[in-house]
Amino acid sequence: MKRSTFKVLFFLKRDKQKANGMVPLFCRITVDGQETRFGMKCDVNPKCWDVKTGKAAGRTTEAVKINALVDNTKAAIFKIYRELQERDNYVTAEKVRNVFLGAEAKQQTLLELFNKHNQERKLLIGVSLCQSTYTGYVRTCVRLGDFIRNRYNLSDIPIREIDHEFMCNFKAYLLANYRLTHNSLTKYLKNLRYIIGIAIQKDYIAKNPFINFSMQYQDANRGFLSQEEVEKLIAFQSKNKKLEQARDMFLFCCFTGLSYSDVVNLTKQHIQLSFGNKMWIKGRRQKTEIKYNIPLLNIPQLILRKYVDNTLCGKVLPVPTYHNYRDRLKRIAAICEIDKNITSHLARHINNSFQMKTSTLQE
């Protein structure tokens, strides 16, 4: 690799001589033959200037003051040059000058890029992105902001400063402060890796900090609901209509196999008569775009009739936000004395071999 040339020179701008005979002092920075200059905001008597050494001659108080300014400036510029060499792929004279003068181009920061990504993704919810995926990115950004404030006492951090150690520290922070399963932790880290991938594509960072950083999902045994547990949910009654709605949505997922995101986007157009004049749900999975044809059993039909006049925008069910849905399911499980973590995913894992009584499910 070609070695860069770097020079710093101080000179008098003699064509700008003032009425009192003094001449402004300038600094010139040269990198690989390209130069830039700036004024030192200091005037010098040309009779006291030594062109050969680039300093003031003599030991007068004024000469000592000027030479101290020259030495300090030169040392600072050399330090900046070395730091830029270590940090960036290339260094220019203008870049060095801008850093010294405090006018370096604004650096891209991690949280700024993450928030920009989230704002763009928000527009795709219901189009090519499900709500839960977007929520995951937002939650990762929030946790990342908390980590940066706690660890570095900063509101944000330049992307170029992200390294392998930063990743290890963030992982340790998540483990120490939140009750995360291995797969939940991995999801946070993979969301961050996606943002770092964007930064690499845009040349905000030269080296991928995720190299040699292990992140693998583990097979999770989520279990399933027994017939007795599902019957408890069917028999569940509450004056709290929001709890009842969450229960109904959960049961709808149980008996159709649809995910939360699929039900969120389910409209009346998806409910069709087919195959022997029976009702079916036809559509595409939100996450995989795979087509599905699902026969509507008695319980999901009862649930649909229950909310036929209580939905908006053609939706078939009054679906709460994922956060509220999850919290309400936990409350329902506690009331029904079901000692399992009832989630939207668990709804798709029931023993479908048993027959359910539907008389207790009130319309």
Task: Quick: pLDDT tens for 288-306.
Answer: 668 888 888 899 999 999 9
Cα–Cα distance for residue pair 285/259, rounded to 1 Å: 8
Adjacent-strand bridge partners of 315: 267
Which of 45-49, 84-88, 342-346 ranks highest by mean pLDDT? 45-49
Sorting pLDDT into bands at 50, 70 and 90, what band is 51?
A: very high
Sorting pLDDT into bands at 50, 70 and 90, what band is 224?
A: confident
Cα–Cα distance for residue pair 112/102, rounded to 1 Å: 21
Residue 218: per-residue pLDDT: 67
Residue 257: per-residue pLDDT: 86
Q: What residue has token string 């101290």?
A: 68
Q: Please indicate whether residue 123 or residue 98 has the higher confidence score (pLDDT).
A: 123
Residue 358: per-residue pLDDT: 44
Contacts of 64 (CB under 8 A, 6+ apart): none
Residue 287: per-residue pLDDT: 66
| Phi, psi for 188 (deg, rounded to 5) | -55, -50
Contacts of 3 (CB under 8 A, 6+ apart): none
Residue 106: per-residue pLDDT: 58
Q: Is there a contact between 233 and 337 (Cβ–Cβ < 8 Å)? A: no
Residue 356 confidence (pLDDT) above 50: no
Residue 12: per-residue pLDDT: 95
Q: What is the pLDDT of residues 68-103, one digit of tens each?
A: 999 999 999 999 999 888 876 678 888 888 888 875
Average pLDDT over residues 115-139: 89
Residue 359: per-residue pLDDT: 42
- Please tell me the least confidently modeled range out of 18-22, 85-89, 90-94, 123-127: 85-89
Mean pLDDT of all residues belonging to the chain: 85
Taking CA atoms, 140 is separated from 100, 154, 169, 243, 343, in Å, by 35, 17, 15, 28, 20
Residue 352: per-residue pLDDT: 45
Please give the single-letter amino acid code of residue 115.
N
**The overall pTM is greater than 0.85:** no
Number of other CB atoms surrounding residue 205 within 10 Å: 20
Q: Please indicate whether residue 338 or residue 352 has the higher confidence score (pLDDT).
A: 338
Please give the single-letter amino acid code of residue 358.
T
- Please tell me the least confidently modeled range out of 112-121, 161-170, 204-213: 204-213
- Please tell me the least confidently modeled range out of 234-238, 267-271, 312-316, 354-358: 354-358
**Strand blocks (E) in the chain:** 6-12, 23-31, 34-44, 49-50, 55-56, 271-274, 278-284, 291-295
Residue 92: per-residue pLDDT: 84
Average pLDDT over residues 158-177: 91
Residue 357: per-residue pLDDT: 46
Q: Is there a contact between 258 and 290 (Cβ–Cβ < 8 Å)? A: no
Residue 28: per-residue pLDDT: 96
CATH of segment(s) 227-348: 1.10.443.10
80: nearest Cα among 96, 58, 61, 60: 96
Q: Is there a contact between 311 and 318 (Cβ–Cβ < 8 Å)? A: yes
Q: Is there a contact between 162 and 196 (Cβ–Cβ < 8 Å)? A: yes
Q: Is there a contact between 194 and 208 (Cβ–Cβ < 8 Å)? A: no
Residue 141: per-residue pLDDT: 97
Percentage of the chain beyond pLDDT 70 is 89
Sorting pLDDT into bands at 50, 70 and 90, what band is 355?
A: very low
Residue 159: per-residue pLDDT: 87
Please give the single-letter amino acid code of residue 307.
Y
Average pLDDT over residues 332-353: 76
Dihedral sign computed on CA atoms, order 151, 153, 155, 161: negative
Taking CA atoms, 86 is separated from 14, 106, 109, 161, in Å, by 37, 18, 19, 11
Residue 1: per-residue pLDDT: 41
